[in-house]
Structure 1
Amino acid sequence: MPFSARIDVHQHIVPPVWAETLAAQGLDSGGWAIPDWSPKSAVAMMDQQEIATGILSVTAPGVHLGDDAQARDLARAVNEYGAEVVKDTPARFGHFASIPLPDVDAAAAEAVHALDDLHADGVVLMSNARGRYLGDPDFEPLWAELDRRGANVFVHPAQPPMDLLPGTPAPLADYVFDTTRSALNLVLNGVMNRYPNVRVILSHGGGFLPYAAYRFAGLTSTAIDRERKAEDILHDLKRFYFDTALSASPSALPALLAFAEPGHVLYGSDWPFAPQEAGSYYNHFLQAYPDFTPGQAEAINRKNAEFLFPRLAR
């Protein structure tokens, strides 16, 4: 299979209304500037990076910027914009709908609208919703709606509820930390066990989850609950899917492939927040990896994503 068949599950969209709203409030993405974006520039990048289809999502800080009413309106505007982009070029684009957590009632309603009416390919959740993590018991109604629909849930990191490391934007260091924190919270609070129909994709190879999974599993019975066995924690951790965005390195990729279940690793670029040069850097590692089993590279580039997004299956 040629690499041009890639399905990129971690590609970002910058709706004008979202960029303008952030600018008006003096916000950016965890100390990272908001780049220019257009469908034309996205297609040009994909043609150069051998990507057939990009599943678009709004990145951190998401659509909830502190005001519930504004978040509801911004989520609806962003999702309708994304749906139009996909409608214009459905073979090249898909989209994850933005959800206005921590307003759980509005989040559940927007998920229903986006999945049922806009035909979104899933939803994107920030790793924390204004400091509240995704296993929060108050978020159960949202997970129940997503589970009923067998939804794809893309978890993108956000700035954790703490000060930035001095001189270091959140995407450089804190994002991998917060992805791991959110995933562990989902497992320890039972979300991954109670809602078996959702398919949760973790950004950037899952942060450091694959590397530390056996630490989490082995210590849970000691630190939290003596009745929870290590193998049960591992089972729930292995339910996650993982994208390769910024993570297909000679040190990270072996750990990811050793931990992830077969079929659970997906291609990701993180464009345009990660510039095209970064995509080329990690694509080189992915293409040169010497230890893929037969068919594994093709599965990561496309076939695993076809299972999650059957409309793109060839």
Structure 2
Amino acid sequence: MIVDVHAHYFPKAYNELLVRIGGKSLPEAARPLTARPMREDDASGIPARLEQMADAGVQMQVLSPAASPPYAEKEADAVHAARLINDSYAELAAKHPGTLAAFVSLPLPHIDASLREMERGLDQLSMLGVSMTCSCFDRSTAEAEFEPLYAEMNRRRAVLNYHPIQNGICSPLINDYRFTVSVGASLEDSAIVLHLIARTIHHRYPDITYVIPHLGGIIPMQLQRLDNQAPRQHPDLPEPPSVTARRFHYDIVGHG
């Protein structure tokens, strides 16, 4: 069975809500991206999506909101957005069982609210895992404040699917040259792998299935270098970085 875990769907109501609450985490150089109209999806496009899946031999898509997660500074705004997108996905999946499914999106950076929405999404909405971006308001989602989420996902043996948030890895060397998405996204993918290794997240939460997007960015080309040089700065790693990196799963979306 071929499952496409890198699939997106953007309901109009969700797009409009994100614009109102301004919850996207973008550096100054990347903010012009928000001026572009977001892609809007509705039920009329589902037959064409299903036809494309059939043509490609894909039996299931698992939906997530990509670089437009339900994040907001105000908890109530984030919860509203998370419930809207999760309910929209659940409704769509119910109409196409076994073909369309979804990851639960979390109202970050609000941890307790995210734990509640994770429970609702996994237990009540029958979602297949959890969606998180590589960072949240320019904080890596491998940081200590997010560990209650990892602990709960580990307890549940959940799938965790990452996606870049398109902040150009917070670097003027990327954003000032307008490579925020075309190159910066792959660097975000690479960075979350490095952060997970440095923070020994997999070692401490081994029962999560971690899914890294876009072929892992530059990680495949860095494995030997990581093994040779990273232990100097990280002498307490439980195993060579290349071993940990191979414990993750990687989707094969490389074109976008």
User: Shared topology, TM-score over 0.5?
Assistant: yes
Moved more, 22-31 or 83-92: 22-31
Shift of 1:27: 8.2
Q: Is 2:197 aligned against 1:190?
A: no
Residue number among 236, 247, 250 corresponding to 1:239 in the alignment: 247
CA-CA distance at 1:36 after TM superposition:
2.9
1:76 aligns with 2:86: no
1:12 maps to what in 2?
8
- Distance in 1 (CA, whole Å) between partners of 2:210 and 2:49 is 25
1:106 is aligned to 113
Query: Structure 1 CA distance, aligned partners of 2:116 and 2:192?
Result: 23
Offset at 1:100? 1.9
**C-alpha distance after superposition, 1:253-290 (max 9, x if no partner):** xxxxxxxxxxxxxxxxxxxxx5xxxxxxxxxxxxxxxx
Q: Secondary structure at the match of 2:125?
A: coil
Supply the AA of the counterpart residue of 2:249: Y
Which residue identity lines up with residue 70 of structure 2 in the other structure?
V
* Residue aligning to 2:178: 168
Distance in 2 (alpha carbons) for counterparts of 1:166 and 1:25: 26
The 8 Å contact of residues 123 and 151 in structure 1, kept in 2 or not, is answered as yes
Deviation at 1:244, TM superposition (A): 0.6
Alpha-carbon deviation of 1:207? 1.0
The CA distance in 2 between the partners of 1:193 and 1:9, in whole Å, is 24
Cα distance, 1:156 vs structure 2 = 0.4
**Conserved in 2, the CA contact under 8 Å of 1:61 and 1:126?**
no
CA contact (8 A) 2:21 2:77 kept: no
Structure 1: 5+ residue runs without aligned partners? 248-273, 275-314
Amino acid at match of 2:16: E
Q: Counterpart of 2:130 in 1: which secondary structure?
A: strand
Q: What is the CA–CA distance in structure 2 between the aligned matches of 1:34 and 1:214, rounded to whole Å?
A: 40
Shift of 1:173: 0.9
Report deviation, 1:157: 0.8
**CA distances 1:196-246 after superposition (whole Å, capped 9, x unpaired):** 110010000011111112222322221232x436x4433221111001102
Q: Percent identity?
A: 24
Deviation at 1:169, TM superposition (A): 5.3
TM-score for both structures, normalised by structure 2: 0.85
Match of 1:59 in 2: 66
Matching residue's letter, 2:105: S
What do you get for the CA RMSD once the two structures are aligned?
2.3
Structure 1 length as normaliser, TM-score? 0.71
2:222 maps to a residue whose letter is A
User: For 1:127 and 1:33, how far apart are their aligned partners in 2?
Assistant: 23
Unmatched 5+ residue regions in structure 2? none
Letter in 1 for 2:60: T
Whether the 8 Å contact between 2:11 and 2:40 is mirrored in structure 1 is no
